[in-house]
Structure 1
Amino acid sequence: MSNLMIIPGNGASNKEWAEKARDYFADDFKSISVQYYDHWASGGELIDMEIELKKLTNTARSFSGDIAILAKSIGTVLFMLSIHSKTIAAERIGRCVFLGLPPEWARKNRFDIDAWSSDYSVPTTLIQNDHDPVASAEDIRREQAEGKFGSLDLIVCKGDDHSYEDFEEIREYLV
Protein backbone atom coordinates (compact mmCIF):
# COMPACT_ATOMS: atom_id res chain seq x y z
CA MET A 1 0.00 0.00 0.00
CA SER A 2 1.28 3.42 -0.84
CA ASN A 3 0.90 6.77 0.89
CA LEU A 4 -1.42 9.50 -0.38
CA MET A 5 -0.68 13.21 -0.40
CA ILE A 6 -3.76 15.41 -0.90
CA ILE A 7 -2.83 18.85 -2.23
CA PRO A 8 -5.99 20.97 -2.41
CA GLY A 9 -7.04 24.16 -4.17
CA ASN A 10 -6.30 27.71 -3.06
CA GLY A 11 -9.54 28.78 -1.35
CA ALA A 12 -10.21 27.93 2.30
CA SER A 13 -13.31 25.95 1.25
CA ASN A 14 -10.88 23.36 -0.11
CA LYS A 15 -10.04 22.31 3.45
CA GLU A 16 -13.43 20.60 3.67
CA TRP A 17 -12.93 19.03 0.21
CA ALA A 18 -9.51 17.68 1.24
CA GLU A 19 -10.87 16.19 4.45
CA LYS A 20 -13.72 14.52 2.55
CA ALA A 21 -11.16 13.05 0.15
CA ARG A 22 -9.00 11.88 3.07
CA ASP A 23 -11.97 10.15 4.68
CA TYR A 24 -13.15 8.62 1.40
CA PHE A 25 -9.75 7.11 0.55
CA ALA A 26 -8.81 6.14 4.14
CA ASP A 27 -8.94 2.38 3.48
CA ASP A 28 -7.06 2.59 0.18
CA PHE A 29 -3.71 3.92 1.45
CA LYS A 30 -1.18 3.15 4.17
CA SER A 31 -1.23 6.78 5.31
CA ILE A 32 -2.74 10.02 4.05
CA SER A 33 -1.58 13.60 4.44
CA VAL A 34 -3.55 16.75 3.70
CA GLN A 35 -1.67 19.93 2.84
CA TYR A 36 -3.19 22.67 5.02
CA TYR A 37 -2.14 26.01 3.56
CA ASP A 38 -0.89 28.70 5.93
CA HIS A 39 -2.91 31.42 4.21
CA TRP A 40 -6.13 29.66 5.21
CA ALA A 41 -5.38 30.30 8.89
CA SER A 42 -4.03 33.82 8.36
CA GLY A 43 -6.96 34.92 6.20
CA GLY A 44 -4.76 35.58 3.17
CA GLU A 45 -6.19 35.20 -0.31
CA LEU A 46 -3.30 33.51 -2.09
CA ILE A 47 -1.03 30.54 -1.49
CA ASP A 48 2.62 31.26 -0.65
CA MET A 49 4.40 28.80 -2.96
CA GLU A 50 7.73 28.98 -1.14
CA ILE A 51 6.26 28.14 2.27
CA GLU A 52 3.96 25.43 0.91
CA LEU A 53 6.73 23.86 -1.18
CA LYS A 54 8.83 23.39 1.97
CA LYS A 55 5.90 21.83 3.81
CA LEU A 56 5.06 19.56 0.88
CA THR A 57 8.68 18.45 0.58
CA ASN A 58 8.89 17.67 4.30
CA THR A 59 5.71 15.60 4.10
CA ALA A 60 7.06 13.60 1.15
CA ARG A 61 10.32 12.97 3.04
CA SER A 62 8.38 11.69 6.05
CA PHE A 63 6.83 8.88 3.99
CA SER A 64 8.60 5.63 3.24
CA GLY A 65 7.73 3.90 0.00
CA ASP A 66 5.66 5.02 -2.94
CA ILE A 67 3.52 8.12 -2.88
CA ALA A 68 0.24 8.74 -4.67
CA ILE A 69 -0.76 12.33 -5.39
CA LEU A 70 -4.27 13.79 -5.50
CA ALA A 71 -3.96 17.48 -6.39
CA LYS A 72 -6.72 19.96 -7.13
CA SER A 73 -6.42 23.35 -8.86
CA ILE A 74 -3.49 25.31 -7.36
CA GLY A 75 -2.35 22.04 -5.76
CA THR A 76 -1.53 20.80 -9.27
CA VAL A 77 0.69 23.83 -9.81
CA LEU A 78 2.41 23.37 -6.43
CA PHE A 79 3.12 19.72 -7.22
CA MET A 80 4.55 20.57 -10.66
CA LEU A 81 6.83 23.09 -8.90
CA SER A 82 8.01 20.36 -6.50
CA ILE A 83 9.02 18.14 -9.43
CA HIS A 84 10.56 21.05 -11.39
CA SER A 85 12.64 22.13 -8.38
CA LYS A 86 13.52 18.49 -7.65
CA THR A 87 12.41 18.77 -4.02
CA ILE A 88 10.31 15.64 -4.59
CA ALA A 89 11.78 12.88 -6.75
CA ALA A 90 9.50 11.90 -9.63
CA GLU A 91 10.51 8.25 -9.13
CA ARG A 92 8.74 8.19 -5.74
CA ILE A 93 5.36 8.88 -7.30
CA GLY A 94 3.35 5.75 -8.02
CA ARG A 95 0.07 7.36 -9.08
CA CYS A 96 -0.86 10.95 -9.75
CA VAL A 97 -4.28 12.47 -10.38
CA PHE A 98 -4.82 16.16 -11.07
CA LEU A 99 -8.25 17.76 -10.83
CA GLY A 100 -9.11 21.09 -12.44
CA LEU A 101 -5.79 22.36 -13.81
CA PRO A 102 -5.89 26.22 -13.73
CA PRO A 103 -3.28 27.46 -16.26
CA GLU A 104 -4.63 30.97 -16.92
CA TRP A 105 -5.42 31.57 -13.24
CA ALA A 106 -1.86 30.51 -12.36
CA ARG A 107 -0.36 32.85 -14.96
CA LYS A 108 -2.58 35.73 -13.84
CA ASN A 109 -1.31 35.25 -10.28
CA ARG A 110 2.31 35.13 -11.47
CA PHE A 111 2.92 31.45 -10.86
CA ASP A 112 5.26 30.24 -13.62
CA ILE A 113 3.22 27.19 -14.56
CA ASP A 114 4.74 27.07 -18.05
CA ALA A 115 8.30 26.73 -16.74
CA TRP A 116 7.29 24.41 -13.92
CA SER A 117 5.43 22.09 -16.28
CA SER A 118 8.02 22.16 -19.09
CA ASP A 119 10.03 19.27 -17.63
CA TYR A 120 7.19 17.60 -15.75
CA SER A 121 7.60 13.86 -16.27
CA VAL A 122 5.30 12.16 -13.78
CA PRO A 123 2.64 10.05 -15.56
CA THR A 124 -0.50 11.92 -14.53
CA THR A 125 -4.21 11.64 -15.16
CA LEU A 126 -5.89 15.05 -15.41
CA ILE A 127 -9.63 15.07 -14.75
CA GLN A 128 -11.11 18.30 -16.12
CA ASN A 129 -14.80 19.21 -16.22
CA ASP A 130 -15.96 20.07 -19.72
CA HIS A 131 -17.35 23.41 -18.52
CA ASP A 132 -15.08 24.12 -15.52
CA PRO A 133 -15.30 27.93 -15.07
CA VAL A 134 -11.60 28.16 -14.15
CA ALA A 135 -10.46 26.24 -17.24
CA SER A 136 -12.68 24.13 -19.46
CA ALA A 137 -11.58 20.83 -20.95
CA GLU A 138 -11.43 22.64 -24.31
CA ASP A 139 -9.04 25.22 -22.80
CA ILE A 140 -6.77 22.35 -21.70
CA ARG A 141 -6.97 20.68 -25.13
CA ARG A 142 -5.95 23.98 -26.73
CA GLU A 143 -2.98 24.29 -24.34
CA GLN A 144 -1.95 20.71 -25.15
CA ALA A 145 -2.21 21.43 -28.89
CA GLU A 146 0.24 24.29 -28.27
CA GLY A 147 2.69 21.81 -26.74
CA LYS A 148 1.92 22.43 -23.07
CA PHE A 149 1.01 19.82 -20.45
CA GLY A 150 1.81 16.98 -22.85
CA SER A 151 2.54 14.49 -20.07
CA LEU A 152 -1.00 14.84 -18.71
CA ASP A 153 -3.57 12.27 -19.83
CA LEU A 154 -6.76 14.33 -20.10
CA ILE A 155 -10.03 12.76 -18.94
CA VAL A 156 -13.05 14.96 -19.66
CA CYS A 157 -16.01 14.78 -17.29
CA LYS A 158 -19.38 16.45 -17.52
CA GLY A 159 -19.55 19.37 -15.16
CA ASP A 160 -19.87 23.11 -14.93
CA ASP A 161 -18.07 23.67 -11.64
CA HIS A 162 -14.60 23.47 -10.11
CA SER A 163 -15.52 21.27 -7.13
CA TYR A 164 -14.44 17.74 -8.21
CA GLU A 165 -16.28 15.79 -5.52
CA ASP A 166 -17.03 12.57 -7.43
CA PHE A 167 -14.57 10.52 -5.39
CA GLU A 168 -15.90 7.25 -6.80
CA GLU A 169 -14.80 8.32 -10.29
CA ILE A 170 -11.51 9.71 -8.98
CA ARG A 171 -10.82 6.36 -7.31
CA GLU A 172 -10.75 4.65 -10.73
CA TYR A 173 -7.57 6.56 -11.57
CA LEU A 174 -6.00 6.96 -8.13
CA VAL A 175 -6.20 3.53 -6.49
Structure 2
Amino acid sequence: MKLPVVLDFDGVIAKVDLDWSLVKEKVSLETGIKIDSFTEFFNSNFGSPEYDLVSRALEKYEKSALEAASPYPDVKVVLEAINRPLIIATMQTESVVRSFLKKHELLMYISDILGRNRFGSKKEELIYISKKYGSGIFVDDRPSNCKVARKLGFKAFLLDRRKGKTLKNLLDYFYTISI
Protein backbone atom coordinates (compact mmCIF):
# COMPACT_ATOMS: atom_id res chain seq x y z
CA MET A 1 0.00 0.00 0.00
CA LYS A 2 1.28 3.44 -0.90
CA LEU A 3 1.73 5.85 1.96
CA PRO A 4 -0.87 8.62 1.92
CA VAL A 5 -0.10 12.27 1.38
CA VAL A 6 -1.62 14.20 4.27
CA LEU A 7 -2.24 17.88 3.59
CA ASP A 8 -3.21 20.61 5.99
CA PHE A 9 -5.95 22.85 4.63
CA ASP A 10 -5.40 26.46 5.74
CA GLY A 11 -2.10 27.61 4.26
CA VAL A 12 -1.60 24.55 2.06
CA ILE A 13 -4.79 24.13 0.00
CA ALA A 14 -6.30 27.59 0.55
CA LYS A 15 -5.94 30.65 2.72
CA VAL A 16 -8.65 30.95 5.36
CA ASP A 17 -8.64 34.73 5.40
CA LEU A 18 -9.77 35.52 8.92
CA ASP A 19 -8.63 38.05 11.45
CA TRP A 20 -8.07 35.34 14.07
CA SER A 21 -7.72 37.85 16.93
CA LEU A 22 -11.09 39.37 16.09
CA VAL A 23 -12.70 35.96 15.61
CA LYS A 24 -11.37 34.79 19.02
CA GLU A 25 -12.89 37.90 20.58
CA LYS A 26 -16.25 37.41 18.83
CA VAL A 27 -16.45 33.69 19.61
CA SER A 28 -15.53 34.41 23.24
CA LEU A 29 -18.36 36.96 23.47
CA GLU A 30 -20.88 34.71 21.68
CA THR A 31 -20.15 31.65 23.81
CA GLY A 32 -19.19 33.20 27.13
CA ILE A 33 -15.97 31.17 27.01
CA LYS A 34 -12.65 33.04 27.01
CA ILE A 35 -10.57 31.83 24.05
CA ASP A 36 -6.88 32.73 24.12
CA SER A 37 -5.91 30.15 21.50
CA PHE A 38 -8.27 27.99 19.45
CA THR A 39 -5.55 25.34 19.16
CA GLU A 40 -5.05 25.13 22.92
CA PHE A 41 -8.77 25.29 23.62
CA PHE A 42 -9.58 22.46 21.22
CA ASN A 43 -6.64 20.37 22.49
CA SER A 44 -7.85 20.69 26.08
CA ASN A 45 -11.61 20.43 25.66
CA PHE A 46 -12.27 17.81 22.98
CA GLY A 47 -15.55 15.98 23.56
CA SER A 48 -16.99 18.54 25.97
CA PRO A 49 -20.15 20.62 25.46
CA GLU A 50 -17.91 23.72 25.51
CA TYR A 51 -15.84 22.30 22.66
CA ASP A 52 -18.97 21.80 20.55
CA LEU A 53 -20.29 25.27 21.39
CA VAL A 54 -17.04 27.00 20.40
CA SER A 55 -16.63 24.82 17.30
CA ARG A 56 -20.13 25.69 16.05
CA ALA A 57 -19.53 29.40 16.69
CA LEU A 58 -16.23 29.28 14.80
CA GLU A 59 -17.74 27.31 11.91
CA LYS A 60 -19.84 30.24 10.69
CA TYR A 61 -16.72 32.43 10.40
CA GLU A 62 -14.86 29.69 8.53
CA LYS A 63 -17.79 29.19 6.18
CA SER A 64 -17.98 32.90 5.40
CA ALA A 65 -14.21 33.12 4.78
CA LEU A 66 -14.18 30.06 2.52
CA GLU A 67 -17.13 31.23 0.44
CA ALA A 68 -14.87 34.04 -0.80
CA ALA A 69 -11.66 31.96 -0.96
CA SER A 70 -10.01 30.08 -3.81
CA PRO A 71 -7.48 27.28 -3.74
CA TYR A 72 -3.87 28.24 -4.29
CA PRO A 73 -3.08 28.11 -8.05
CA ASP A 74 -0.86 25.02 -7.84
CA VAL A 75 -3.27 22.82 -5.86
CA LYS A 76 -5.34 21.16 -8.59
CA VAL A 77 -2.39 20.14 -10.77
CA VAL A 78 -0.61 18.64 -7.77
CA LEU A 79 -3.68 16.75 -6.52
CA GLU A 80 -4.18 15.35 -10.03
CA ALA A 81 -0.56 14.17 -10.18
CA ILE A 82 -0.26 12.45 -6.82
CA ASN A 83 -1.00 8.76 -7.29
CA ARG A 84 -1.62 7.77 -3.68
CA PRO A 85 -4.32 8.38 -1.07
CA LEU A 86 -4.77 12.09 -0.32
CA ILE A 87 -6.05 13.08 3.10
CA ILE A 88 -6.88 16.53 4.40
CA ALA A 89 -6.00 16.88 8.11
CA THR A 90 -7.30 20.20 9.35
CA MET A 91 -8.60 21.92 12.43
CA GLN A 92 -11.35 23.45 10.31
CA THR A 93 -14.85 21.97 10.17
CA GLU A 94 -15.02 18.94 7.87
CA SER A 95 -18.31 19.95 6.20
CA VAL A 96 -17.02 23.45 5.40
CA VAL A 97 -13.81 22.04 3.90
CA ARG A 98 -15.79 19.43 1.95
CA SER A 99 -18.06 22.15 0.50
CA PHE A 100 -15.03 24.22 -0.50
CA LEU A 101 -13.36 21.26 -2.21
CA LYS A 102 -16.57 20.33 -4.02
CA LYS A 103 -17.15 23.92 -5.18
CA HIS A 104 -13.63 24.03 -6.66
CA GLU A 105 -13.81 20.52 -8.17
CA LEU A 106 -11.12 19.11 -5.88
CA LEU A 107 -13.15 16.73 -3.74
CA MET A 108 -12.75 13.87 -6.23
CA TYR A 109 -9.02 13.70 -5.43
CA ILE A 110 -9.44 13.44 -1.67
CA SER A 111 -9.73 10.09 0.14
CA ASP A 112 -10.70 11.51 3.51
CA ILE A 113 -11.12 14.77 5.39
CA LEU A 114 -10.20 14.80 9.07
CA GLY A 115 -11.38 17.88 10.93
CA ARG A 116 -11.98 19.21 14.38
CA ASN A 117 -15.48 17.79 14.67
CA ARG A 118 -13.87 14.31 14.94
CA PHE A 119 -10.44 15.18 16.34
CA GLY A 120 -9.32 17.65 18.99
CA SER A 121 -5.83 18.17 17.60
CA LYS A 122 -3.56 17.67 14.62
CA LYS A 123 -1.72 15.05 16.67
CA GLU A 124 -4.91 12.98 17.09
CA GLU A 125 -5.57 13.20 13.35
CA LEU A 126 -2.06 11.95 12.62
CA ILE A 127 -2.37 9.12 15.16
CA TYR A 128 -5.56 8.03 13.41
CA ILE A 129 -3.79 8.06 10.02
CA SER A 130 -0.77 6.18 11.37
CA LYS A 131 -3.03 3.43 12.75
CA LYS A 132 -4.74 3.09 9.38
CA TYR A 133 -1.72 3.44 7.06
CA GLY A 134 1.38 3.03 9.21
CA SER A 135 2.60 6.56 8.46
CA GLY A 136 2.53 8.96 5.53
CA ILE A 137 3.85 12.09 3.92
CA PHE A 138 2.69 15.19 5.77
CA VAL A 139 2.57 18.77 4.47
CA ASP A 140 1.72 21.70 6.75
CA ASP A 141 2.53 25.38 7.08
CA ARG A 142 3.15 25.19 10.84
CA PRO A 143 6.54 23.98 12.09
CA SER A 144 4.97 22.68 15.31
CA ASN A 145 2.67 20.36 13.34
CA CYS A 146 5.58 19.09 11.25
CA LYS A 147 7.51 18.35 14.44
CA VAL A 148 4.58 16.31 15.82
CA ALA A 149 4.29 14.44 12.52
CA ARG A 150 7.99 13.53 12.50
CA LYS A 151 7.73 12.20 16.07
CA LEU A 152 4.90 9.96 14.87
CA GLY A 153 6.99 8.58 11.98
CA PHE A 154 5.70 10.72 9.11
CA LYS A 155 7.91 12.30 6.48
CA ALA A 156 6.96 15.91 7.19
CA PHE A 157 7.42 18.91 4.94
CA LEU A 158 6.97 22.53 5.90
CA LEU A 159 5.27 24.55 3.18
CA ASP A 160 5.90 28.26 3.66
CA ARG A 161 3.95 29.99 0.90
CA ARG A 162 5.03 33.38 2.26
CA LYS A 163 8.55 32.49 1.09
CA GLY A 164 7.34 31.48 -2.36
CA LYS A 165 7.22 27.72 -1.73
CA THR A 166 4.53 25.74 -3.55
CA LEU A 167 3.02 22.29 -3.49
CA LYS A 168 4.54 21.85 -6.94
CA ASN A 169 8.02 22.25 -5.39
CA LEU A 170 7.14 19.46 -2.98
CA LEU A 171 5.72 17.25 -5.71
CA ASP A 172 8.94 17.60 -7.66
CA TYR A 173 10.85 16.66 -4.49
CA PHE A 174 8.61 13.61 -3.84
CA TYR A 175 9.43 12.23 -7.26
CA THR A 176 13.15 13.04 -6.88
CA ILE A 177 13.43 10.99 -3.68
CA SER A 178 10.93 8.34 -4.83
CA ILE A 179 8.76 8.27 -1.75
TM over 0.5: no
Q: TM-score, normalised by structure 2?
A: 0.34
Q: TM-score, normalised by structure 1?
A: 0.35
Greater RCO structure (CA 8 Å; 6+ sep): 2
